[in-house]
Amino acid sequence: MKVLKFGGTSVANSDNIKQVLSIVSKASEKEQIVVVVSAMGKTTDALIHAANAAAQKNNAYKATLQELEKHHFNTIKELIPVQEQSEVISYTKQLFNQLETIYEGCFLLQELTPKTLAKISGFGELLSSFIIAKAAKNSIGANYKDSRELIIASDDYNNALVDFDLTFKKCQDYFSNNGARVTIVPGFVARTKEGKTTTLGRGGSDYSAAIYAAALDAKELQIWTDVSGMFTANPKVVKQAHEIPHISYHEAMELSHFGAKVIYPPTIQPVLQKEIPIVIKNTFQPEDKGTLITKETGLNKPVKGISHINEIALITLEGVGMVGIPGFSKRLFEALYLHDINVILITQASSELSICIAIHENDAEKAVAIVNDAFAYEVQLKKVKPVFVEKGMSIIALVGDQMKNHQGLSGKMFSALGKNNVNIRAIAQGASEKNISAVIDEKDTKKALNTLHERFFEERVKQLNLFVTGVGNVGEKFLAQLQQQKKFLKKNLKLNIRVIGISNSRTMVFDESGLNLNSWKEALQNGEKASLEGFLERIKSINLRNSVFVDNTASEAVSKMYEGYLRHNIGVVTCNKIACASDLENYRRLKFVSRKYNAPFLFETNVGAGLPIIDTLKNLIASGDRVHKIQAVLSGSLNFVFNNFDESITFHDVVQQAQNEGYTEPDPKIDLSGIDVARKILILARESGYELNLEDIENNSFLPKESLDTKENESFYASLHKYEEHFQEIYQKAKDKECRLKYVAEFANGKANVGLQQIEATHPFYNLEGSDNIVLFYTDRYPQQPLIIKGAGAGAEVTASGIFADVIRIGNV
Ligand code: ADP
Ligand code: ASP
Ligand code: MG
């Protein structure tokens, strides 16, 4: 004998029921089976909701009832041949008539007693089981039996306690005289000794099935549902969750107690005592192996799953009057128990100064009143404070029988959460160490679950979630490189980099499961209106672990947003140098906030595009070296300009060409005025540990004042035409000395300057080609022969690759 239970989704409509019948038919070939069914889809929710409406004199219950009736009749029509429908139609009609009368009673009396609610909520199973039994009668030869005649329970309506002795006897008597290969019974419903309908609690069809399995000493209890087993975490919240092949009764109980609703926790008890194996199977993918639940698994994996419950309230009772005085907790829990308030988690500080309990949010107000009442005397004497309640919490729990044999699991758990800025409000660890639970803010639940899942189940792949702003030259190249390397990174670096949001100055677009990088342009075009604050707010609300904001713009307004990102534990990678070259206080604050909130702030591309200049400098400093002097050609743009400028071309045309080829900032004056180079040497000096501001850098510009004073590109270019002679003269002077012109940045003795220099043929700068950059670091370790970094220092492709390198640096931490 086996017992098979099919949940709400499995019997939600005629197509699903047909699938159930095929599973049942196959299972019954081998042995006798009992089939326990839930109500169709969300019928129970709808019945309860309508009952509450009726009791509040809200007519809406009628529409719900009509809808339910229609759905049940449609199912009958689709499932059962016309000539056999009359009995089931009249039975169904009769039940709906009864329901209507009960609802009318509630409506008129404006009252809904637990007894009435239990009666109403059981109708879903009575309907579904009868319809399914009828459909199975001809094809499978199934028999129907009303569970209320077999399962006897107390009158704690809606959560009744089963009379096991009586129930077992009734079940055994019935089945020993019943030879049907398949018996279909409703789950969830039972009857009191006095003959009143009662129910076994929400999710209770699982329990009914377990009761049958235990009563009949079944070989196996199969729970057929809409997922392929018990998962390492709720698969609807954690995409990477996977089925647990084998788990113990205790582990399954802990996981389900903390919210893995695949199985209703009390279900385990009756089958555990008889050691009947439970198998969780997927009705819609019956070939999948599912999860086997037995006494022991023989596996030594410490963490088996992570579960969570939302809508939790934390109640704290504290006060100096509690220290060392016995009986406080007894009184607290007694008060809650007497008012039917279920305590989900308890923690007590060892100082006994406070007790903190987690309960369901719906019970919060009631609990506060009860506890304040119970301790009114102590509160009045100021021995304890009035209770303190915090709502909007959730509990997350790591579960595993073997956790007690492994060191440091809670350390791993809390440091992973801490790194992702998940604030932990309370912690509880049972003495048996089968679970470690933490109470956190509900808004962090998804992030916390995914973080823990990654930490304990996917140690090998790390997910980074990028939010990219600016998709001009650099941004577009970056996304293309990312798309091209995605597979490689996953396979070789175990990095799963996803782009969740993209924005330009006009529109922004998001996809929490990752944007398709082949079609981001169309998606962005059709996106919502962009705003800097809106982008940040959305990233905060999406609240993914390892989030990184990537700034590919040259915008000051965007750079002002960094602090907001870092403060929310969102990393920042930027090629925009405005922030790092802004006033010293701001630069220091960003560094501080980055450290404090554990959010990386990387800007390798601020100097020398993709060349590893800042990273090298950081490594020198971190390993104890000291920088004395830096000499550098840091402007790819100016290099390009002066390498291409001679008597055969105008200065204006060379600059125009540099801009067209993407070697300048959108505003070329920023490059030509030397500001850009000044910012770069400033950043290098700061990263070397010197405290400088942009004003401290001497800028010996070669541009005429009139060019410097222009306000936009058009007048700037016009001024270049006007002063062509001035530029030719600079060129000729250098040529006469057989020198080349290079725009050089220097830092020495705490001072920095930038300016055009005539470089002789013997100097390392002389042969710098195209848009190349070069940096010479003179340090304690490199006093005479400098450490030289040289290579392409401008251009969208190399800048994008530098951004990419920073992102990978974050991934590798
Ligand atoms: P049924 O109606 O078949 O009884 P339930 O809705 O009660 O089904 O339970 C199945 C659901 O449990 C799944 O659809 C899934 O969303 C949820 N669930 C929560 N935690 C887990 C978990 N750890 N593993 C599998 N499912 C889970
Ligand atoms: N139909 C009931 C409920 O929704 C019992 C069950 O499906 O397990 O709670
Ligand atoms: Mg269920």
- Mutation probe of ligand 1 site: the residue of 234, 238, 303, 304 with most atoms within 8 A of C-beta: 234
Atom of ligand 2 at shortest range from CA of 38: 7
Q: Which CATH class is domain 613-794?
A: alpha beta
Atom of ligand 2 at shortest range from CA of 188: 5
Each residue's pLDDT tens digit, 653-688: 999 999 998 788 888 999 999 999 999 999 999 999
End-to-end distance of the chain based on CA atoms, in angstroms?
55
Res 328 pLDDT > 90 = no
Report the CATH fold assignment for 462-604.
Answer: Rossmann fold (3.40.50)
Relative to the alpha carbon of 207, which ligand is closest?
A: 2
Find the 570 Cα to ligand 2 centroid distance in Å: 41
Highest mean pLDDT among 59-73, 323-337, 455-469, 758-772: 59-73
Is 203 touching ligand 1 by the criterion CB < 6 Å? yes
**Type of residue at 324:** G
Atom of ligand 1 at shortest range from CA of 8: 2
State the architecture of 2-225 in CATH terms: 3-Layer(aba) Sandwich (3.40)
The closest alpha carbon to 795, from 605, 685, 649, 663, belongs to 663
Atom of ligand 1 at shortest range from CA of 203: 7
Atom of ligand 1 at shortest range from CA of 233: 23
Confidence bin at 428 (pLDDT 50/70/90) = confident
- Mutation probe of ligand 1 site: the residue of 225, 293, 445, 446 with most atoms within 8 A of C-beta: 225
State the architecture of 305-457 in CATH terms: 2-Layer Sandwich (3.30)
Is 204 touching ligand 2 by the criterion CB < 6 Å? yes
Find the 651 Cα to ligand 1 centroid distance in Å: 70
pLDDT of residue 432: 67
Find the 261 Cα to ligand 1 centroid distance in Å: 5
Find the 39 Cα to ligand 2 centroid distance in Å: 6
Alpha-carbon span 132 to 20, nearest angstrom = 9
Domain with CATH 3.30.360.10 in the chain: 613-794
- Mutation probe of ligand 2 site: the residue of 120, 198, 205 with most atoms within 8 A of C-beta: 205
Find the 265 Cα to ligand 3 centroid distance in Å: 10
Is 38 touching ligand 2 by the criterion CB < 6 Å? yes
Find the 259 Cα to ligand 3 centroid distance in Å: 11
pLDDT of residue 479: 97
Contact 632, 772 (CB under 8 A): no
pLDDT of residue 459: 67
Is 222 touching ligand 1 by the criterion CB < 6 Å? no
Res 712 pLDDT > 80 = yes
Find the 334 Cα to ligand 1 centroid distance in Å: 32
Is 309 touching ligand 1 by the criterion CB < 6 Å? no
pLDDT of residue 77: 96
Find the 320 Cα to ligand 3 centroid distance in Å: 44
Confidence bin at 139 (pLDDT 50/70/90) = confident
Res 182 pLDDT > 80 = yes
Find the 107 Cα to ligand 3 centroid distance in Å: 30
pLDDT of residue 67: 97
Find the 6 Cα to ligand 2 centroid distance in Å: 10
- Angle at the Cα of 589 from the Cα atoms of 588 and 592, rounded to 5 degrees: 90
Relative to the alpha carbon of 260, which ligand is closest?
A: 1
**pLDDT: which is higher, 406 or 72:** 72
- Mutation probe of ligand 2 site: the residue of 11, 16, 44, 207 with most atoms within 8 A of C-beta: 44
Radius of gyration for the chain, computed over Cα atoms and rounded to the nearest angstrom: 36
Query: Position of tokens 């970094």?
Result: 789
Q: Which residues pair with 348 in a beta bridge?
A: 355
Atom of ligand 1 at shortest range from CA of 283: 3
pLDDT of residue 812: 83
Residue nearest to ligand 2 atom 2, measured at CA:
203
Is 122 touching ligand 2 by the criterion CB < 6 Å? no
Alpha-carbon span 584 to 283, nearest angstrom = 63
pLDDT of residue 13: 97
Confidence bin at 136 (pLDDT 50/70/90) = very high
Is 205 touching ligand 2 by the criterion CB < 6 Å? yes
Each residue's pLDDT tens digit, 256-272: 988 888 999 899 999 99
Find the 270 Cα to ligand 3 centroid distance in Å: 17
**pLDDT: which is higher, 42 or 328:** 42
Q: List, in order, residues 6 or more apart from 165 with CB less than 8 Å away.
A: none
- Mutation probe of ligand 1 site: the residue of 262, 303, 398 with most atoms within 8 A of C-beta: 262
Is 38 touching ligand 1 by the criterion CB < 6 Å? yes
Domain with CATH 3.30.2130.10 in the chain: 305-457
Relative to the alpha carbon of 222, which ligand is closest?
A: 1
Q: List, in order, residues 6 or more apart from 702 with CB less than 8 Å away.
A: 674, 730, 755, 756
Residue nearest to ligand 2 atom 8, measured at CA:
203
Relative to the alpha carbon of 225, which ligand is closest?
A: 1
pLDDT of residue 233: 95
Res 410 pLDDT > 90 = no
Residue nearest to ligand 1 atom 12, measured at CA:
262
Atom of ligand 2 at shortest range from CA of 8: 7
Is 226 touching ligand 1 by the criterion CB < 6 Å? yes
Confidence bin at 585 (pLDDT 50/70/90) = very high
Q: List, in order, residues 6 or more apart from 345 with CB less than 8 Å away.
A: 357, 358, 395, 426, 428, 437, 439
Phi, psi of 599 (to 5 degrees): -115, 115
Helices (H), 441-553: 445-457, 473-488, 520-525, 532-542
Atom of ligand 1 at shortest range from CA of 280: 25
DSSP reduced 3-state for 537? helix
Residue nearest to ligand 2 atom 5, measured at CA:
203
pLDDT of residue 446: 94
Q: Which residues pair with 359 in a beta bridge?
A: 313, 343
Relative to the alpha carbon of 223, which ligand is closest?
A: 1
Each residue's pLDDT tens digit, 600-626: 999 999 999 889 999 999 999 999 999
Alpha-carbon span 620 to 614, nearest angstrom = 10
Residues belonging to the active site: 680
Is 42 touching ligand 2 by the criterion CB < 6 Å? no
Q: List, in order, residues 6 or more apart from 125 with CB less than 8 Å away.
A: 37, 38, 39, 147, 186, 187, 188, 189, 205
Res 376 pLDDT > 80 = yes
Is 261 touching ligand 1 by the criterion CB < 6 Å? yes
Helices (H), 608-648: 613-622, 636-644
pLDDT of residue 179: 85
Is 45 touching ligand 1 by the criterion CB < 6 Å? no
Find the 197 Cα to ligand 1 centroid distance in Å: 27
Res 64 pLDDT > 70 = yes
The closest alpha carbon to 776, from 663, 616, 640, belongs to 616
Relative to the alpha carbon of 256, which ligand is closest?
A: 1
The mean pLDDT value of the chain amounts to 93
Each residue's pLDDT tens digit, 587-604: 999 999 999 999 999 999
In this prediction, residues 706-713 reach a mean pLDDT of 94
Is 234 touching ligand 1 by the criterion CB < 6 Å? yes
Between β-strands 627-633 and 740-748, what pairing exists: parallel, antiparallel or unpaired?
Answer: antiparallel
Confidence bin at 315 (pLDDT 50/70/90) = very high
Confidence bin at 352 (pLDDT 50/70/90) = low
Between β-strands 507-510 and 528-529, what pairing exists: parallel, antiparallel or unpaired?
Answer: antiparallel
CA dihedral 693, 695, 701, 703 (to 10 degrees): 120
